[in-house]
């Protein structure tokens, strides 16, 4: 079961600025490895307190439709038995 991924967004208290994003697809595991470097600035702090953070997570690819199984069941060959 896939877990939903919530991206960090700016609010009235913090401003989020994305500095770098690297997406690396992995065909064996069928996921995208995401690396994000972002800066968070506290807007309520008088000096604009800023921190930098790094986040890593995976996003699963959507499942492929299983047309092959449907096609193989529809294409059944009829076998005729001669009883003469």
Q: Report if pTM > 0.75.
A: no
Residue 62 is encoded by which pair of tokens?
Answer: 């959507």
Say how far apart CA 16 and CA 18 lie, in whole Å: 7
* Residues 79/50, Cβ–Cβ less than 8 Å: no
Q: How far is CA 46 from the centre of its chain?
A: 37
Query: So what's the pLDDT on residue 81?
Result: 76
Say how far apart CA 36 and CA 59 lie, in whole Å: 13
E strands along the chain, which residues?
Answer: 14-26, 31-42, 50-60
End-to-end CA distance of the chain: 56
What ranges do the domains of the chain cover? 14-74
Query: So what's the pLDDT on residue 73?
Result: 54
Residue-by-residue pLDDT tens, the chain, 84 positions: 566 777 888 899 999 999 999 999 999 989 999 999 999 999 888 887 899 999 998 988 888 777 655 555 555 566 677 776
């Amino acid at each position: 079961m896939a877990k939903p991924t919530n991206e960090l967004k700016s609010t009235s208290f913090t401003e989020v600025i994305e500095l770098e994003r690297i997406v690396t697809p992995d065909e064996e595991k069928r996921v995208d490895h995401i690396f994000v470097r972002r800066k968070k600035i506290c807007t309520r702090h008088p000096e604009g307190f800023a921190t930098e953070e790094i986040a890593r997570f995976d996003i699963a690819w959507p499942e492929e439709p299983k047309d092959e199984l449907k096609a193989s069941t529809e294409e059944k060959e009829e076998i005729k038995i001669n009883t003469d």
